[in-house]
Amino acid sequence: MTRTHQARLILGSASPRRLDLLAQIGITPDEIRPADIDETPRRNEDARAYVRRMAAEKAEAVSAAPDDIVLAADTVVTAGRRILGKPEDAAEARAFLTLLSGRRHRVMTAITLRRGGREWSRLVETQVRLRPLSAREIEDYLASGEWQGKAGGYAIQGRAGAFVNWIEGSFSAVVGLPLAETATLLRAAQAARPSKED
């Protein structure tokens, strides 16, 4: 009986959190090739459309052989209709945390896998509530630097875990990669025959 060929996996992200999450389920990418795209939301683009588009564009931007599997993802935090991406500076992170303090918000992570001309994608939404935060707590958190590079200005897997008093959905999706859904899509992509490309 012949052994099933395993396609090479390319992670289209420089996020160490996504790499750690994949390691939790025993997956090590063959290569890491961060996608370089414009992440500016389009005018009147809602959060679901935006995060799906980002994941798809990242997957498309990564160069790969036809038989390689490219995995890309994007995460956003939304408060009402407002998209909270990665804060540009401490002032914006402070504004985000002040806005999220004591309220429920949504974290959306979209994943896209590409193999040859085929794509698989999934959007996972998780609801999170932060307890009311004091000005001192916010300033101490900002001083830690942990907010940098984090959607919504906080990392649930770090010190900000103490701010979260309720979550409904996927914890790993809030960190940056929904593991159950990613594993399912990887199985589908591995089993699929890549499209022929001349």
Q: Could you tell me if 59 and 71 are in contact, meaning their C-beta atoms sit under 8 angstroms apart?
A: yes
Q: What is the spatial distance between Cα 175 and Cα 154, in angstroms, rounded to a whole number? A: 10
3-state secondary structure the chain: CCCCCCCCEEECCCCHHHHHHHHHCCCCCCEECCCCCCCCCCCCCCHHHHHHHHHHHHHHHCCCCCCCEEEEEEEEEEECCEEECCCCCHHHHHHHHHHHCCCEEEEEEEEEEEECCEEEEEEEEEEEEECCCCHHHHHHHHHHCCCCCCHHHCCCCCHHHHHEEEEECCHHHHHCCCHHHHHHHHHHHHHCCCCCCC
pTM over 0.85: yes
Q: What is the pLDDT of residue 196?
A: 53
- Mean pLDDT (the chain, rounded): 93
pLDDT > 90? residue 197? no
Q: Which residues are catalytic?
A: 74
Q: Is the pLDDT of residue 198 over 60?
A: no
pLDDT-based confidence at residue 6 (cuts at 50, 70, 90)? confident
* Alpha-carbon span 133 to 14, nearest angstrom: 30
Domains, the chain? 9-191 (3.90.950.10)
Residues 82-129 pLDDT 10s: 999 899 999 999 999 999 999 999 999 999 999 999 999 999 999 999
